[in-house]
Structure 1
């Protein structure tokens, strides 16, 4: 006689499976630091993204969830900036920029909103958007 019972054994440890703000922030910093220096007569993307990172960290209008999501989008933008002329990277950059703008608007973040208003045209230009 065959045993047709289904046995499922799950093992493992999911403690510490969430990423802390410190971890996300360190990953964003690392990604930004990997960007090449700005070409002459070009905006300094490294500096712009670092400024935005500092704003995200310090903005009291952002909830913890919004702050984490904004940092994730900033990391995606910094990753895309490694190869800004690649069409897939342009798409990622555009999505991240849109989501960061939305986070700023929904949170009512005046500082982040002002920065985005000034920096987005410069960043979009780097990606040819």
Structure 2
């Protein structure tokens, strides 16, 4: 992630799945894109959950050099890549209690899923 330092606390607010193996809340399926429209990804409502993560550091893998060659040519191109990735520790996760959905008050993920299944 660009512009993050170790120790920063991030609010992760784009979730497509929440839950466990038994009870899972999923967002709507993404809409496939075409030449006229880009792919549309749907996320769960961020009022339903909280998720905070602390940046532990920015790591990088060793430098990789890949040789690209074309058929019947002596020239080889050397492509270098060194990917960087951000290491996060998830601190706080949970469902927000007392959220209202279609006029009904939910206090847990299980109640939320039961109400969604009835609709």
Q: TM-score range by the shorter chain?
A: under 0.3
TM-score where L is the length of structure 2: 0.24
Larger radius of gyration: 2
Q: Which has the higher strand share?
A: 2
TM-score where L is the length of structure 1: 0.23
